[in-house]
Each structure stands twice: as C-alpha cells, then as structure tokens.
Structure 1
Amino acid sequence: MQNQHTGHGDHFPNCLHAEIEQRQNRKWLIPGTIACNKVLAIVNNPRLCKDIAMMSEKHQTSRLEAFHSLLNQFAPKTYHFLYRPQKCRTLLAVLHYNENGGRSQASTVDGASRYALTFPKFKKGGAVVRPVMVAASYEYVDKLLDLVVTRCNEGVIQPSQVDIPSFLCSSFERPDKAEAIAAHRTRFLK
C-alpha cells in the first residue's frame, strides 16, 4: 500500500508477490497521512489479526469434522459396541480416512473440474455448488485382509491377546449405603 516491498520484520522480510508493474498513475498511501493511519488501524486491529489466524489452514477443523462424520458411519452412536468392536471400527475408519481424506476433485472427459448442485435446508430452496470428488478407494481392505491372514497363519494374532481395559466405574470405591444416607439427611438439617 505504501510501495515498500522489503523490511517488513523478521517473519516476512520481503513481499511474496511478483514484481509489480510500475505505472505513473498508480496511487500509493503516503506514510504518516490520516488515510494511511486509518488503513493501518484497520489492518492491525487485534481482533482482525486473530480472525485471520483462525482462517489459516492449520487452524481449520473441517478435516476433523469430516473424520468424525466418517467415524459415525463406521460406528454409529445409536448402537452400543463393546470395547473390541468399537476399537476395530475406529481403526477401520482411520484407515479409510487416511486413504481417502485427500481425494482430488473429479474432472470431465474434457478435463474440466466437476461440480454438483445441492439444495441444503439452510438455503431454503437455494442451490449450493459443491465440487465432486473422485470415487473413494478401498485398497486398504485387501492389504489388511492379506496381513490378517498372514499373521493368523503365523500364530502371531489371537483374539484373546488384546488387552481390554477395565470399566471406568471399577476404579471408584462404592460408598457404604448407610453413610451415604446419613450424609444426605445432614445436608437438609443445615
């Protein structure tokens, strides 16, 4: 904005943009002017800087939400699974996500990117354009089956070898019933 492209501090010593074509009619902000100070106050606003930091890709939760959605398909919350089945379903969801989490966008025969129109409820009949991804891959299933068969034939894996943690409630001592009743009654006498 001020035609300064170097010396921005330790994190960004130089601008990352390409060479700017110098035109005589280009207007730059002059440092110290009211207009420049107002723009700098907006750009350096701590709330805006905090919001921009949250917009960076490393702070996004969309991939975590996508994994949780996938995990709900492998292990729905409407069903109760014991420890072993829940752990197996979670591990399968992890394998599936690791193989398919970074799928690219599908393209047409002409090489153009594919999109689909969807009509979500929050748009109340309005359309939203979403990219169409390439089909999911299930190559991990064949590799996993080969590994399991090999390990079972070698006698390495046996179902009884998996350590099952004790129930969470087993780590607490059950209080004496008479003491609990007495403590409950004294609460109301105060």
Structure 2
Amino acid sequence: MLETVGKKKKCELVGDWARSVSNHLYWCASSSDGDGELVSEKWLSVLNHITNVHEGHGQRFPKCLHGELEDRDWINKGSLAFLEMEKVVKGKLLVNDIKKLSPAEQTSALESYHHVVCHIAPKALHFFYAPMKARLYIAALHFNENSYRDQAVNKNGEPIYSISYPKGRKGAGIPKEVKVQQTYSK
C-alpha cells in the first residue's frame, strides 16, 4: 500500500520509508506481549517517527526506544506525502486489525510443513488410506527432524550466509543463514 502511495507525485519519500514502516509493524507486534492497545499506540507512533519526532507519542508508549539515528530524508508534517501516509497508517480497518496481531505465532512453520507434505504426498496423485497415512507420518517425522537445524559454519568456525532475492523485495537482496544439511537416514 505504501509503495503505491510512494509512486504518486510529491509522495516519493513514502516509498523510501515503506520498508522501515513494514519493519516497524513487525516490531510493534513482537514487542507488545499481545496487548492490542499497546500495539496500536506503537504503530501510530510511526507518524511522529517519520517526521523526526521521537517522543510524545502517547500515554503507554511515550517515546521511541532507539538511540541516536543517522540522518535521513524525514517527511515534513503537513506535506502531501505525510497526509497520504497518515491516511494509510490511521486507516480504521488497519488499526483494528493491528490490535489483533499475534506477538509470536507466524504461519511460516505451518506453510513449511505443508510444503514437505506436498513433496512426499503430491496432491496430483491418488493414494489409498494406508499409503497416504504412511506418507503423512514420514512427512511429519522429516519435518520434525529438520525444521530447526543449526546454522552451518565454515572451516574457521564462522557462520555461513547466502544472499536471497525474494520477489517481495523487488530485487533487494537479504542475508540468509545457510543451515546444515538435512538428515534422511537417522
């Protein structure tokens, strides 16, 4: 949504802030212990933050927790870019949904498990009950054995990273931990 707003004339700064605002949303949910009102107050504080105001946000979250920040392109309060971002950030449906964000539970593990199930028991093939049950057991065992693998290290004991280019980042690379090889025979 913010990237779309950032494409409007005189709103380019909104597009530059989109990634930071997205990160802020994840931080709001993960740092509030499921307290919806606190999540909401932290979320709305982003409107002050983007204008280089880091205190006076609200009663429960009065000031930002970060230290000194490097200089960047701040958005001027009252500018078209600010007003457009404010429409998005203060959207009634969005704020109500943000109050319900889960602080810890994400669906990525479930999605990973479903990927393993589809690999071992493809939907395009028909299996009778007993073989299907056996394949689901194998998928569960494989997933449980390999889902929380350690990070791989090189000969010097340093952790190994690779660069991933997810579609959602539109060409921006992100560092990703390289995990140890999966186990199949244990």
TM range (shorter): 0.3 to 0.5
Structure having greater relative contact order (Cα 8 Å, sep ≥ 6): 2
TM norm structure 1: 0.43
TM norm structure 2: 0.44
Largest Rg, 1 or 2: 1
